[in-house]
Amino acid sequence: MPQRVTYHDEQDVENTLKLREVLKTLPGFCRDYFRAMEPTTSTKTRISYAYDIRVFFRFLKERNPALRTMDIRDFPVDVLDQLEAVDIEEYQEYLKVYEASSCDKQITNGERGLKRKMSALRSFYTYYYKRQVISSNPTLLVDMPKIHEKSIIRLEVNETAALLDYIEHGGDELTGQRKMYYEKTKARDLAIVTLLLGTGIRVSECVGLDIQDIDFDNNGIRIVRKGGNETIVYFGDEVADALKAYLPVREGITPIAGHENALFYSTQRRRIGVQAVENMVKKYARAITTTKKITPHKLRSTYGTSLYRETGDIYLVAEVLGHKDVNTTRKHYAAMGEDRRRQAASAVHLRRD
């Protein structure tokens, strides 16, 4: 029997091919950097860094008169040594708003986008500096963008129930084509949202599930975490019921070639994608709350918050969510500052009876 090719195997191949194409547009010396980082990074990280480094070289070509007439592929490594801290600061400012080279679309970056791109550039410079290919590293002289922590956006218990009820019955009054589409996707959508809310897995982990990854005997699913590590995540009866209700619908689908093992299918009979799940969650969430922008990641936050409230065990929450550093979990879930602020609302009385 041929070995099963998983979603994550396919993603690795796709990202590897994308990286090869991007490298064709970059200076030749860049290949050494990406080859060196391969053993310690995922293909997703490498292609993301490649896109970010490409933006940096496009910035140099656009803003540096001496490089404007050169093809980026011909840039020598000495270019890196010619830059000073002020040039890196100018690049950081450029990243806030710039024009995409392939179209007229305007690209913007918030705090997190800026930090990721600057981290990629600092890593890039550090590689050549450590190997004494260049004599200076101006990225170390520039402060990294500060990330302002935001309150966790999550669903309350009543909102969680309302969301699931809406997925299950929100289309009861529909007619015609909209009714047909709702009935066709209801069991799938309910299974996906229930799974996200009941396990806290990432949306990428969800769409990567194969039918073989479900174990109803032990109520567990095998997922591949960020970084490629496999683990088993366990679920409760509500998740099991939603998955079992979906399976007969899945069995009635004839998938296109190469997608036979996928657990969740799109209406095109392919493995459902991350963007499709994000759009689906947003669609349903808009019907039950107008003050919160709910995404699959917010469903993950909802699960993490609920688990911490019920157990008080921050290490358990970190393990189940797949956080490598428990301090990340503690920072997000242990404070529960909003709950304290709500208590303050009833602590002060303006008028006494």
pLDDT at res. 336: 54
- Does residue 193 surpass a pLDDT of 60? yes
Cα separation of 43 and 136, whole Å?
Answer: 29
Any idea what DSSP says for residue 141? G
What's the CATH number for 157-337? 1.10.443.10
Question: Confidence class of residue 345 from pLDDT cuts 50, 70 and 90?
Answer: low
Percent of the chain at pLDDT > 70 equals 92
What are the tokens at 146? 């500060």
Any idea what DSSP says for residue 110? -
- Could you tell me the pTM of the whole model? 0.84
Average pLDDT over residues 274-278: 97
pLDDT at res. 1: 47
CA 14 to chain centre: 17
Nearest 10 degrees: CA dihedral of 186, 187, 193, 199? 180
Which pairing describes strands 97-99 and 106-108: parallel, antiparallel, or unpaired? antiparallel
Cα separation of 244 and 80, whole Å?
Answer: 57
Domain ranges within the chain, ordered by starting residue: 7-141, 157-337
Q: Phi then psi for 335, rounded to 5 degrees?
A: -70, -45
Higher pLDDT, 124 or 229: 124
What's the CATH number for 7-141? 1.10.150.130
201-234 CB burial, b ≥16 within 10 A, e <16: bbbbbbbbbbeebbeeeeebbebbbeeeeeeebe
pLDDT per position as a tens digit, 80-116: 999 999 999 999 999 999 987 766 688 999 999 999 9
pLDDT at res. 342: 55
What are the tokens at 27? 């200076």
Cα separation of 236 and 238, whole Å?
Answer: 6
User: Poorest-confidence range of 164-173, 216-225, 336-345?
Assistant: 336-345
In the block, tokens 């589409």 appear at 181
- Order the strands of the 220-224 sheet from edge to edge: 214-215, 220-224, 230-234
Mean pLDDT of all residues in the chain?
90
pLDDT per position as a tens digit, 114-137: 999 999 999 999 999 999 999 999
291-301 CB burial, b ≥16 within 10 A, e <16: eeebbbebbbb
- Listed residue (201, 206, 198, 189) closest to 8, CA to CA: 206
Nearest 10 degrees: CA dihedral of 150, 151, 153, 154? 150
DSSP H stretches of helix in the chain = 7-23, 30-37, 43-63, 78-81, 85-96, 111-130, 157-169, 176-199, 203-207, 237-251, 274-286, 296-311, 314-321, 326-329, 337-345
pLDDT at res. 331: 72
pLDDT at res. 214: 97
Average pLDDT over residues 294-317: 90
pLDDT at res. 146: 86
pLDDT per position as a tens digit, 3-46: 677 898 899 999 999 999 999 999 999 999 999 999 999 999 99
What does the chain come to in residues?
353
